[in-house]
Chains A and B, each alone.
Chain A
Amino acid sequence: MSAANQLYQEVILDHNRKPRNWGAVADANRRAEGHNPLCGDHIKLTLKVEDGRIAAVAFEGEGCAICKASSSMMTTGVKGRTQAEAEQLVQEFRDMATGKLDPAAGRHHLGRLTVFAGVRDLPSRVKCAILPWHTLHAALNSIASTSTEADADPMHAPLGNA
């Protein structure tokens, strides 16, 4: 089975159809919006951080299956974690999606999130998977909105747009 089909089968059937933590945290104290202007993915992330720990997290918006499933699994993955742990996951997820971290080889904390490893073989879709993580990083650092095309974005790489 190809990388794409494998990725879709495992990820989509569940989280795309029934995204977890969909909506907004009512008493959120961290929030950010993430955009991918190239494909129109757009998510709003709200969090409640208490004593340095993510007590609640939710997302809403519109995006492709990879973006939605990645958002959904991210929320389940970081809930209850400390900010530092969440930031580490952000880094590890980015590294995995861009092929810098081989989940089968190196040490990491990604757990079930390794189902997204196949996205590294689909360069045009890497940003879809990373957008929610990018947005989480922005929210934890009080950046109101972020874009996959922002100058400061380490993921920034121009894609075709004609």
Chain B
Amino acid sequence: MTQAAMAHDTAGGRFDVERVRIDFPILRTEVNGKPLVYLDNAASSQMPQPVIDRMVRYRTREHANIHRAVHTLSETATAAFEDTRGKVQRLLNAKEEREIVFTSGTTDAINLVMHGYGRKFIGEGDEIVVSHLEHHSNIVPWQMLCLEKGAHLKVIPVNDRGELLFEEYEKLLGPRTRLVAVTHVSNALGTITPAREIVAAAHARGVPVLLDGAQAAPHMRVDVQALDCDFYAFSGHKLYGPTGVGVLYAKGEHLDRMQPYKGGGDMILSVTFEHTEYNVPPHKFEAGTPPIEQVIVLGAAVDYVTALGFERIGAHETDLLDYATTEFNRLPGVRIIGTAERKAAVLSFEVKGVHPHDVGTLLNEEGVAIRTGHHCAQPVMKRFAVPATARASFAFYNTAAEIDALVAAVKKAQKVFG
């Protein structure tokens, strides 16, 4: 842990963003001759120095394959790898360590549930409920399953603020509903969905629930036992860790019944040409050499955010979102898309008369990095009748001054377009 993070850990007081920023070397770089203002955290977040250091240490002194050899390096790497499983278990407050499966990311985690659970337990005429807010990664796998099995996809509608219509959701839960798969936080609009209530309503009818936590895990305390969800997925690279690693939490009772997703080494107990005995969860779902480095480094990222504390992270990000929302509402010709009462640090917007991609290019000229496009959520774009949006998304290392830079850059873009 760095001094800055340590100070927060022990002081327990006000969140000092300037001290935290010291940990992020990339925030001291320039783009187009301007200080980088990185506001594309919903796409991927930046890595603090202690996490970078962990990566270097692993590569410099610790790399070996895991779960195999008896030599020291392999045992060290295996211990560090499995250590992260425990850290993620505590991060999510999962009941058991074996409920944490490492994947290559959120998409892979959802596909694991589709193949391992969906293909075994969902059949012809069955129904899967998703919401209108979903990222493509929580739509397409279920469409593929529906195509294969003759099942049907049902969609929870949203209101003009981007909030799920809960009564409509309850109406969709029927005798053939076999799974509910919804996002915890919308990547395109920032809406925080009522996850606990969604789970409770489904469970009342015996239906399991998958939560896509890619945009939630980096910003709030996630307690899978309190949520009582059956599956929870998130990515390492949005949680200040590396790409190539993600997590699927699944209740042990489900993992025990699920079929393997990928076959290969590490997921077996014994193999003959006649018969293969599978390993136990989570290993049953981790075929082949996993992203060892990424998992270990993710462990360092989990340590970092845990030391900062989600209460303070959340409070600071809420301040940023409130400030940005106020400033944007004062800008003529700018419309915020997604105005849910409960929102995470995402601000989607359109600038009248300026296509989002032009906004993005002109903001980049000012060093301001935002995402423009459909955000892999084309149904959301269609619902709000826009081809694309510009999206600023915040992390705990962003500042009010950076929001001022964003606002100034938007004004400048408006000026270019006259």
Contacts and interface: CB of A to CB of B under 8 A. Distances in A.
B416 A12 contact: yes
A162 B43 contact: yes
B417 interface: yes
Interface string B388-401: 10000000000000
A12 B358 CA distance: 10
Given A39-B373, A122-B361, A8 B32 contact: no
Contacts of A8: 358, 361-362, 416-417
Nearest to A12: B417
Contacts of B85: none
Interface in A6-64: 8-9, 12-13, 16-17, 38-40, 42, 62-64
Q: Which of A8, A125, A128 lies at the interface centre, i.e. has the most chain B CB atoms within 10 A of its CB?
A: A8
B364 interface: yes
A79 B258 CA distance: 63
A39 B416 contact: no
A124 B363 CA distance: 14
B418 A125 contact: no
Interface in B30-48: 32, 43-44
A42 B374 CA distance: 14
Contacts of A64: 355-358
Contact of A125 (B32, B361, B388): B361
Given A9-B416, A40-B388, A4 B364 contact: yes
A65 interface: yes
Nearest to B237: A162
Given A39-B372, A39-B373, A5 B416 contact: yes
A8 B362 CA distance: 9
B416 A38 contact: no
A65 B354 contact: yes
B376 interface: yes
B365 A161 contact: no
Interface in A107-128: 122, 124-125, 128
A4 B43 CA distance: 23
Interface in B127-157: none
Given A9-B416, A12-B417, A62-B387, A39 B365 contact: no
Contacts of A63: 355
Contact of A2 (B32, B44, B357): B32
B357 A125 contact: yes
Interface in B315-336: none
A64 B417 CA distance: 12
A66 interface: yes
B365 A2 contact: yes
B372 A65 contact: no
Contacts of A4: 361-362, 364-365
A12 to B, nearest CB: 6
A38 B373 contact: yes
A65 B387 CA distance: 14
Contacts of B362: 4-5, 8
Contacts of A2: 32, 365
A97 to B, nearest CB: 15
Contacts of B356: 39, 64
Interface centre among B354, B358, B364, B365 (most CB of A within 10 A): B358
B154 to A, nearest CB: 26
Contacts of B417: 8, 12, 16, 65
B358 A162 contact: no
B416 A40 contact: no
A81 B372 CA distance: 37
Nearest to B354: A65
A125 B357 CA distance: 8
A11 to B, nearest CB: 10
A63 B374 CA distance: 13
Interface string B155-179: 0000000000000000000000000
Given A39-B388, A161-B376, A162-B44, 8 more contacts: A4-B361, A5-B365, A5-B416, A8-B416, A13-B418, A38-B373, A66-B358, A161-B373
9 contacts: A9-B416, A40-B387, A63-B355, A64-B356, A65-B355, A122-B361, A125-B361, A128-B357, A162-B376
